[in-house]
Amino acid sequence: DVKVTQSSRYLVKRTGEKVFLECVQDMDHENMFWYRQDPGLGLRLIYFSYDVKMKEKGDIPEGYSVSREKKERFSLILESASTNQTSMYLCASNLLRGYEQYFGPGTRLTVT
């Protein structure tokens, strides 16, 4: 079975802190994705990566950056957390030419 894991299920941070969200997949997938989920807005793509050190902006990249140093790991970075970044963050992965995405359990981030 494909497994996508995220480093934390719940996280509470203060405004201005630097926040790292980690995602690891074990199926050798080329593509990895970071989404933000808010009520009534569905899933919005923040960034995605199609290879090591390669990344592309999604629909809402402002305030976020990403890092992919190894194929299995994709990190989302909030350089200076703000209260409007309080949300559920979901990581996913799939094959380079595949569409079915496999999701991690999510990280619920609260910024106070």
Partner 1 sequence: AQSVTQPDIHITVSEGASLELRCNYSYGATPYLFWYVQSPGQGLQLLLKYFSGDTLVQGIKGFEAEFKRSQSSFNLRKPSVHWSDAAEYFCAVGAQGGKLIFGQGTELSVKP
Positions that interact with partner 1 (CB under 8 A): 4, 9, 31, 33, 40-43, 45, 48, 50, 56, 90, 92, 94-106, 108
Minimum CB–partner distance for residue 16 and partner 1 (Å): 27
Are the C-beta atoms of residues 68 and 53 closer than 8 Å to each other?
A: yes
Nearest Cα to Cα of residue 30 among 48, 51, 47: 51
Are the C-beta atoms of residues 91 and 33 closer than 8 Å to each other?
A: yes
Question: What is the Cα–Cα distance from 60 to 41, expressed in whole angstroms?
Answer: 12
Indicate the Cα dihedral angle 35, 36, 42, 47, nearest 10°: -40
User: Closer CB to partner 1, residue 6 or residue 85?
Assistant: 6
Question: What is the Cα–Cα distance from 73 to 97, expressed in whole angstroms?
Answer: 19
Minimum CB–partner distance for residue 99 and partner 1 (Å): 4
Minimum CB–partner distance for residue 7 and partner 1 (Å): 14
User: Closer CB to partner 1, residue 27 or residue 41?
Assistant: 41
User: Closer CB to partner 1, residue 41 or residue 82?
Assistant: 41
User: Closer CB to partner 1, residue 74 or residue 79?
Assistant: 74
